[in-house]
Amino acid sequence: MAKFTPIWALGLMSGTSLDGVDGAMILTDGVDILGFGASYFRPYTEHEASILHQALGCWPGENETDLRLAQNVVENAHADVIAHFPDAQVIGFHGQTLAHDPKNGRTYQMGDGAQLAEITGKTVVWDFRSADVAAGGEGAPLAPFFHFACAKQLGLRTPIAFVNLGGVGNVTWIDPSKFAPTDANALLAFDTGPANAPINDIMMTRRRVTFDEDGALAKTGQVQSAVLEAVFENDYFSRTPPKSLDRNDFSEIEHLTSNLSDEDAVASLTALAASCVYAAQMHFPSDPSRWLICGGGRRNPAIMNALGQMMTQPVNACEAVGLDGDMLEAQAFGYLAVRVMRGLPTSAPSTTNCTEPTCGGIISNP
């Protein structure tokens, strides 16, 4: 394979919302995006999602039965997705995050990329986060270098903010006038706070459905400001970024909403997801010219309406500029896989707080 020759990479992503596995093809040389290809989503069944929920927070060696069952779910779901992409030249395999503890230099994404390489007969790049954590970084978020490439591909010239609303929210502030993502003041990235995860959890616990479709339940409830005020007492919001969260870092939310009606609880958590994004801009070097929203949260009109009312700049789903908001994170790990193969950085001090630009990832050949 000639150096820097663009290749078709398959990116795989299973996020903290635990809805399923995204697979998406991207043509890239690890610097520029040359094209996007096919995509596929394989949802987790309710039973599979419950198994993964049971394993959340577990570290290797703990609750081995739960981890073994979760491993089977992760492997089978990812194998189903890979089968749809026989032409992939390399696979970027993120795995399923079960626990994330950057304060103590730990992060755990379930999934064995070496085994996946043997099964598929393809080169697999995986374990993207460990090298960053070892370099003093948070290990997350990792999509910002891809967001920078997207801004370049779109020909943007003024600062812009990409927001991913998955289980946890994260934001990337980008100055696309910079040459490279490692340039000074090119990027700032961090987790904004809870997003879909607490909404999905309460919907499953109380209604036995996986999410609040179209924000319908949120629209019928009243936002309880006391819930938001209590959450924002957490010192996470005032901490200087880069910074990141585990899915369960705001476990107090369950207690704060326990006495609320379903409608008021979901309305409050929906407002919280938007408010966390609004609060994030206090850390930006300058105001973005636009907010581009990706991830499952952009499909929730209640969240999007709240963001639109809060922000002074335009707020749009990223489809408004021709990007696929469902597959952006999967595409990101295809892009990052090629960067790893080229030995290029996948994170920087401004995105994860690592001490220097770091190339993460393990390359496993079949």
Q: What is the pLDDT along the chain (366 residues), one digit of tens a residue?
A: 445 799 999 999 998 778 899 999 999 999 999 999 999 999 999 999 999 999 999 999 999 999 999 999 999 999 999 999 999 999 999 999 999 888 888 999 999 999 999 989 999 999 999 999 999 999 999 999 999 999 999 999 999 999 999 889 999 999 999 999 999 999 999 999 999 999 999 999 999 998 999 999 999 999 999 999 999 999 999 999 999 888 778 989 999 999 999 999 999 999 999 999 999 999 999 999 999 999 999 999 999 999 999 999 999 999 999 999 999 999 999 999 999 999 999 999 999 999 999 999 999 999
What is the DSSP annotation of 136-171? T-------HHHHHHHHHHTT--S-EEEEEESSEEEE
Query: What's the burial of 5, exposed, middle or buried (CB within 10 Å: 0-12/13-18/19+)?
Result: exposed
The rounded distance, in Å, linking the Cα atoms of 25 and 11 is 6
pLDDT value of residue 15: 83
Together in a domain, 122 and 162: no
The rounded distance, in Å, linking the Cα atoms of 284 and 202 is 32
Q: Is residue 2 part of a domain?
A: no
Tokens, residue 38: 């096919």
Q: Where are the beta strands (DSSP E) in 29-104?
A: 33-43, 90-101
Together in a domain, 15 and 58: yes
Together in a domain, 211 and 313: yes
pLDDT value of residue 252: 93
pLDDT value of residue 1: 41
Together in a domain, 303 and 334: no
The rounded distance, in Å, linking the Cα atoms of 275 and 310 is 8
pLDDT value of residue 336: 98
The rounded distance, in Å, linking the Cα atoms of 303 and 33 is 30
Together in a domain, 20 and 132: yes
The rounded distance, in Å, linking the Cα atoms of 211 and 86 is 32
What is the DSSP annotation of 162-225? EEEESSEEEEEEE-TTSSSTTSTTSEEEEEEEE-HHHHHHHHHHHHSSSS-GGGHHHHHS---H
Q: Is residue 1 part of a domain?
A: no
Together in a domain, 90 and 187: no
| Contact by Cβ (8 Å): 106, 97 | no
pLDDT value of residue 105: 87
Please identify which residue in the block is written with the tokens 């490439």. Answer: 149
- Sign of torsion over alpha carbons 284, 196, 33, 76: positive
**C-alpha angle 229/231/233, rounded to 5°?**
75
Together in a domain, 96 and 205: no
Count up the domains in the chain and report the number.
2
The rounded distance, in Å, linking the Cα atoms of 179 and 266 is 42
| Contact by Cβ (8 Å): 271, 222 | no
| pTM of full prediction above 0.85 | yes
Q: Is residue 36 part of a domain?
A: yes
Of 351, 352, 292, nearest to 324 (Cα)? 292
State which residues form the domain around 127.
7-140+329-348+355-364
Query: What's the burial of 226, exposed, middle or buried (CB within 10 Å: 0-12/13-18/19+)?
Result: exposed
Together in a domain, 94 and 171: no
Cα torsion through 214, 215, 221, 222, rounded to 10: -140
pLDDT value of residue 127: 96
pLDDT value of residue 146: 98
pLDDT value of residue 3: 59
285: three-class secondary structure by DSSP: coil
